Amino acid sequence: MPVTLLFGVHAHQPVGNFPAVIDDAHIRSYGMFLRVMERYPEFRFSVHFSGWLLDVLFKRFPDDMARLTAMTRRGQLEWFGSGDCEPVLAAIPHRDRLTQIAALSDKIEQRFGMRPAGAWLTERVWESSVVPALVETGIRYVAVDDYHFLCAGEDGATLDSFYTTEEDGVCLDLFPISEAARYRLPFSPAAEAVAWLEDLARQGHRAAIYFDDIEKFGIWPETYEWVFEKGWLTQFVEGVLASPLIRTDTFAGYHAGEKTRGIVYLPTTSYIEMNEWTLPAPRAAAYHALIKAEKAAGRFEAHKPFLRGGIWRNFMSRYPEANWMHKRMLDASQRLAALPPALHNAAMQEHLHRAQANDAYWHGLFGGLYLPHLRRAVWNNLLALEAALAPLAPPPACAQADLDHDGRLEIALRNNQLQAFVRDDGDAALVEFSSLLLTHNFGDTLRAYAEAYHAKIEQAQTEQAGHQAGAGIASAHDRVAFLHPILPEDAAPDLRPRGIFLERAGNPGGAGGTLQALDSYHAGERPGAWIATGEGWRIEKTYRLDADSLSVVFHAEGSGLPALIETELNLALPSCDGYGGRYVLADGSIPGGFGHALELDGMQRITLEDAELRGALQIEAIQPAHLMARPHRTVSQSEAGFEKIMQAVCIALAWSPASGLDQRITLRVIPAP
């Protein structure tokens, strides 16, 4: 009996990704792939495109979208659904799962004449709680990794067809994606891949199940030359069609003609690499060492189901910035849901959906938490939704709650233009400072974290993962590459969170000669006031919102005051070290861009202009201050290699409190004319 090849590809670009990046992805991957596949109508396959990406491609590449339509109508191609803006379904409320899935299914039906019966799970994150929403929206089956089944105790030899699971009596079928196929296609030579499929047929396998990122066909390093210029995809398709031991089908066709292998209950998990990425650096290093030892001992394949690492939601506990963004999104979702239905509109729903896009909430080889433009897209949409909600259901001007569930209260100050959140954690710094007019969060930065992969930085360029000529190409998981020159010290982790108005104080000319973190603030009696004390001194720090500005007053008193107080502002701006970001002094002169270091004495006003922001941020100090500005960069790893990414402008303002005068620092948001 021939083995049935169920071949599926998943195409996605993050909400907010650069147009040039999307164009390049289409030119090198999506379009090339479709042009090859349309030449072989008898090769049946399945596709999933995220809804946001489909919208972009229909505008920019209508001819290739016509190819998709033609292949759908002739029965060659099946569409898989999912959430419209590619959320991790398990991380959003049930009500939003329904609207996200329905939005994409409606879009596919309207454009291609097919309503999906299958769904792609973002990052293959499985939690059984998503079953009711999938089924309620017409989904009958999903594809998850065979690893999920192994973790449930299933025999790998039987993972050649679909199984059935249920949640609260609601049933959904599950196809196990073959890890062996994911690592072979398209990295091993086409003839070897076809021979492997034929061996499965000889062993009596019902189906070979493949569903993975289409970006492996042209975008991953070396794959464009390999897949298209050297003809891997054409050779593979023709080899499959020429083989009497292989037949192709869509998941829908196969599902209609076969019966389930039986009931299964999967644990909460994702693909095996993701489970390692979710772990904090020390635990990830220990986990990686364990995996390496098991492989060296020849036990890994047998023990793999029991070496599970973490789960996707761990990213919320690993990265407070992701957690804050996520909990703010959940709060906005609740506010939208609480509106009377007559006040809802499609634009609000679309903003919520886009704010739930998965990419900016996690980090790994492909996750985008470290990419400021992806986080910014989430905040743009979240704040646009809140701007629309504000006149319909105004929030209180001052409120407090532990919004991110970290055991510390956040005090929210709001007016009709600005939002500022102060965390009661000893620093009393802003964790968010947002403009509703500009739909921008100036506090959207990321501290430097220790990451397990930073250990690879010490490897020489000559130690990059290689491969023998003619033996295929290296997967991105195995490569070590450097986009920028990076030294180990560049990846040193921050010892303190990155916020706005973080103080240090001390006597730099005295013993020790350094400033110490001022992190012992406690809430004062007046709203927005915070107090820190020391031997013979007291500092009160008070926040206030006024129309288009936020002011912070520092009142210092006592006989033992430190000689110097310094406050640090970590400000996220769209241009960062791009051409559009620059400092402008009070006299109109431009001393440099955000990517440059800057030092000024007696500063009382400086403006941060940003062409992408559609506005500017002006900083004023009532008492002259010494200014030091520098870029804050982190070191991260993507499929292309290690890179430095500018996360924020770090501005330190220092002054002496000895004069007895209060210092007032004002941040004023100035929209473009």
Distance CA 413, CA 542 (A): 12
Q: Which residue has the tokens 């129309």?
A: 547
Q: Which of 621, 610, 631 is nearest to 438 (CA)?
A: 610
Q: In 306-328, which positions are buried (b, 16+ CB within 10 angstroms) versus exposed (e)?
A: ebbbbbbbbbbebbbbbbbbbbb
Residue type, 620: E
Positions marked active-site: 123, 213
Q: Which residue has the tokens 């790893």?
A: 637
- CA dihedral sign, ordered 571, 574, 578, 581: negative
Q: How far is CA 251 from CA 6, 102, 125, 170, 554, in A?
A: 6, 20, 20, 21, 65
Distance CA 330, CA 338 (A): 12
Residue 589: phi and psi, rounded to 5, are -75, 155
Q: Which of 454, 455, 411, 418 is nearest to 436 (CA)?
A: 418
Contact by Cβ (8 Å): 85, 15: yes
Q: Cα-Cα-Cα-Cα dihedral of 324, 326, 331, 334, to 10°?
A: -170
Q: How many CB atoms lie within 10 A of CB 151?
A: 21
Q: How far is CA 540 from CA 261, 502, 523, 534, in A?
A: 68, 13, 10, 12
Contacts 24+ apart (CB under 8 A), 394-398: 395/335, 398/527, 398/528
Contact by Cβ (8 Å): 379, 361: no
Contacts 24+ apart (CB under 8 A), 193-201: 193/236, 193/239, 194/236, 194/239, 194/240, 194/243, 194/246, 197/3, 197/5, 197/240, 197/243, 197/245, 197/246, 198/3, 198/243, 198/245, 198/246, 200/3, 200/160, 201/1, 201/2, 201/3, 201/245, 201/246
* Helical spans, DSSP H, in 346-467: 346-355, 372-389
Q: Which of 441, 413, 428 is nearest to 545 (CA)?
A: 413
